[in-house]
Structure 1
Amino acid sequence: MTDAEWREKLTPEQFHILREKGTERAFTGKYDKNKAEGEYHCAACGQLLFESDDKYDSGCGWPSFTAPAEGDVVEEHRDTSHGMIRTEVVCSNCDGHLGHVFPDGPGETGLRYCINSAALDFEPEDGE
């Protein structure tokens, strides 16, 4: 899609994050404290990205997950912006910027996928 088409589909905040690699301020996203069971999809293309079973409260101010949903739903890229070396996470379907992954998470993976709420759409397990 062109930038103009993305601008029509997404909110200004979603466009800034997903298409311009922006970020929302910590502790302001609608899914940071979400504890409901369900699935997190890409707000741009709808691809399933994360599941609530892998979500945890890392205290960082953004929704955090220990692993993506099944398969290769996210891609990782080296990010050297802002004077740091980080690993960017993007949707493998639409290349939308989601956030970053860090090696300080709990459990088997030891990873913390730190994801912008605005890059996600949540579908509750109970369908509400």
Structure 2
Amino acid sequence: MDETSNPISRSDEEWRSRLAPQEYAVLRQGATERPWSGDYVSTSTVGVYRCRACGAELFRSETKFDSHCGWPSFFEPSESEAVTLHEDSSMGMVRTEVRCARCDSHLGHVFHGEGYATPTDDRYCINSIALTLEEDSVA
């Protein structure tokens, strides 16, 4: 088993010491970065998107698409167990929150049935600051 698949739990103080203030606000407090401000909104780099907090693999570039929403969008996680989904009734609406299955960090939200020409018609709208991109190496 890959070490990034083992569940982890840290105290609030440990998370604060490991993450920059904006990273902490998004990953641990459920904040959202400003649209069009993240590093991965428009990137087409081939690779693996990992959780910034714990390094778990979450998404692959093959599932990333341009939804024109201001945040990186994916049509599915790299594995069905990579993320967990939770009802979020904040902000006066019901949405589906996406969290890292390994460390329970907030990643963004998933929206269903919006009519995108993808295999799943899902849009995982993920904060760039919640991710790191590990580029595929060319042999």
For Structure 1 versus Structure 2, the TM-score category normalised by the shorter chain is over 0.9
Residue 112 in structure 1 maps to residue 126 in structure 2: no
Please give the root-mean-square deviation of Cα atoms over the aligned residues, in Å: 1.0
Instruction: State how far apart, in whole Å, the 2-side matches of 1:16 and 1:87 are.
Output: 19
Instruction: State how far apart, in whole Å, the 1-side matches of 2:78 and 2:136 are.
Output: 15
Residue 60 in structure 1 maps to residue 64 in structure 2: no
Deviations 1:28-52 (A, max 9, x none): 0011011100000000010000000
TM-score, length of structure 1 as denominator length: 0.96
The residue that corresponds to 2:7 in the other structure is none
The offset of 1:71, in angstroms, is 3.5
Instruction: State how far apart, in whole Å, the 2-side matches of 1:68 and 1:102 are.
Output: 13
Q: How many residues align?
A: 127
Residue 3 in structure 1 maps to residue 12 in structure 2: yes
Residue 76 in structure 1 maps to residue 90 in structure 2: no
Residue 14 in structure 1 maps to residue 26 in structure 2: no
The residue that corresponds to 2:46 in the other structure is 37
The offset of 1:3, in angstroms, is 1.1
The offset of 1:79, in angstroms, is 0.4
The residue that corresponds to 1:126 in the other structure is 137
Structure 1 segments (4+ residues) deviating >6 Å: none
Percent identity (aligned): 49
The residue that corresponds to 2:104 in the other structure is 95
Instruction: State how far apart, in whole Å, the 1-side matches of 2:68 and 2:51 are.
Output: 22
TM-score, length of structure 2 as denominator length: 0.89
Instruction: State how far apart, in whole Å, the 2-side matches of 1:106 and 1:87 are.
Output: 21
